[in-house]
A and B are shown apart, each in its own frame.
Chain A
Amino acid sequence: MTPRSAHGGHGTETVPHAPVFVGETRARLEGLFGKYPTRQACLLPALWMVQEERGWISEPAIEEVAGVLDLTPAYVKGVVTFYTMYHTHPVGRHFIQVCTTSPCNICGAEDVARALVEKTGCRELGATSPDGRFTVVEVECLGACGFPTPILVDDDFVEDVTPDKVAAILERYT
């Protein structure tokens, strides 16, 4: 069998993509079809399902989503890249978002961001720690400005974070 050429013509795909939308996940997606007048409207929910299962959204996953929803891969990619919460690259086991927008900024958010980078070993914002445990990114307002500084660790929203609390918070995530 001739290997299918990969995206953009670089190299060939040697490891086949294991489909996301089979079994229960397929059923969950199809359960949404009746809630919207178009299939396309299920694109954001479908992308969330991919990310929940795989941790990020790869090119083959984009092609799969496109196929399932009758869209083109280029179109789906355009949508994926518009939204900051979809990962187009693999990230650490735990993904940490820290707000540094003005209301939090004046309450010391940059110090919290620095402490997170230091204590996770990520070395810089946006990077993943060498042990693959954490990725830390700086984000804009998380809608919890009265609880400075809020961070989001995976799906856990943590309020009132100060640099001295960072180490204890990280311990909860292995």
Chain B
Amino acid sequence: MGYPHPSHPKETVVLSKYFGDAGARSFDGWVQRGGYEGLRKALGMSREAIVEEVKASGLRGRGGAGFPTGLKWSFMPKDVAKPHYLVCNADESEPGTFKDREIMRWTPHALIEGCAIAAYAIGSERCYIYIRGEFTEPWRVMSAAVGEAYAAGALGESAFGSGRRIDVVLHRGAGAYICGEETGMMNSLEGKRGNPRIKPPFPAVSGVFGMPTTVNNVETLAAVPHILVRGAEWYKGLCLGNPKSTGTKLISVCGHIQRPGNYEVTMGTPVKDILYEMAGGPRPGRTFKAVIPGGSSVPIMTREEAEEALFDYEGIVAKGSMLGSAGMIVMDDTTDMVYQIWRLARFYAHESCAQCTQCREGTAWTTKVLERILSGKGKQEDFQLLLDLSEQMTGKTICVLSDSCAAPVVSGIQKFRSEFEAYMTGSRQPSMAAV
């Protein structure tokens, strides 16, 4: 369902089937809708068989990096000599993205079930779900659902009488985008500042509390029960583009669009269908100018690039950007691109944890140079300055927040250079007081 709008015939509703249906929130309501079949089935399988099934489905991480989920699980040690942990990343803070929120608000048991299956598959008895502090409503819904799952015996000492212990603990964040980065999240869970860690060691070797850990996104885990119930072949078959991108994907569409919301599509669906048919196209009398397809951390696409792209991991790369978190930010011809790129740079400057010089200095200086341009004091040399800064910020830091700031800046200069020049030459009035 194109929540909060009615479902569109071109959507493939799997995860979003019960968005907006309050009856699906309770344990009994979920069971009536076929819920917990996946967990029951999983508990009768071996750990290895579950990992193989998920590998065969082609499921890739929905948190941003698109790493194959089954493969990630297979990195966890086979023998459980010390505690293993599953961490569910519900920190959803990437500008443009609001899909995990709807999964938790409407189908909390889908997530709990996915967490329980994944925990069992990686040899873990405990899953922490790290929910961003601002998500007050999802927190309430999830808390109630976890309580019900324990009461019904789906969680606890012996999940569904299997003799296997599975605990789910909700953990509340407190406002920090960087805690969405998996190693920052692990530090935060340990009661520390959320600074990302240098890798290696990778989480599967030494993660939260120094133990083998797997971190997965909410949407990734919510897809797992469906794969177990309906089979890897079915999931793999949900594919219109190329076989490397399978299944359905929730796309959060926002910005200058008639019907903002979450749309669930089969991988490989043309972006044009999403923008014009499902989400209703531009506002009356307007045309699209730019689309940021994967949350704010990916390169900006022009309207033409977006309209030609297929929505899957490779399809978006082929048109110069990345699928990221699938938060699609749509900007029409009224948008001041320089101002919005500045606003994004300011976001990254605010959220940098400041461990790495390139990121701390780079995000701050990028913001300042953009402010100079917006105040009408920019010079031609500022293009090179911004590009040099971006170069220094890419591929050189502990995590990719720094690279994420560079992405909109570099693509913005490449694709919307004349808008920067208009500020420099004075043909556009300053939109900010001189700094």
Contacts and interface: CB of A to CB of B under 8 A. Distances in A.
Interface of A: 35-38, 40-45, 47-48, 69, 71, 78-79, 82-86, 97, 100-103, 105-107, 139-148, 152, 155-157
A110 B194 CA distance: 29
Contacts of B176: 82-84
Contacts of A84: 174-176
A41 B189 contact: yes
B101 A103 contact: no
B340 A146 contact: no
Contacts of B4: 146-147
Interface of B: 4, 83, 92-98, 100-101, 132-137, 167, 169, 171-177, 188-194, 209, 252-256, 260-262, 296, 327, 329, 331, 335, 340, 343-344, 347, 350-351, 353
Nearest to B133: A85
Contacts of B189: 41
30 contacts: A36-B169, A38-B209, A40-B191, A40-B192, A41-B189, A79-B192, A83-B174, A97-B134, A101-B343, A102-B95, A102-B296, A103-B95, A103-B255, A103-B296, A103-B327, A103-B329, A105-B340, A139-B134, A140-B95, A141-B96, A141-B347, A142-B134, A143-B100, A145-B254, A145-B327, A146-B253, A147-B98, A148-B260, A155-B136, A156-B136
A168 to B, nearest CB: 20
B243 to A, nearest CB: 31
Contacts of A140: 93, 95, 177, 347, 350-351
A82 B92 contact: no
A102 B329 contact: yes
Contacts of B101: 143-144
Contacts of A37: 83, 209
A103 B190 contact: no
Nearest to B94: A141
B254 A103 contact: yes
A120 B137 CA distance: 24
Interface centre among B96, B134, B327 (most CB of A within 10 A): B134
A42 B191 contact: yes
A79 B92 contact: no
A147 B134 contact: no
B97 A145 contact: yes
Nearest to A45: B172
Interface centre among A36, A106, A142 (most CB of B within 10 A): A106
B136 A141 contact: no
A103 B351 contact: no
A168 B350 CA distance: 31
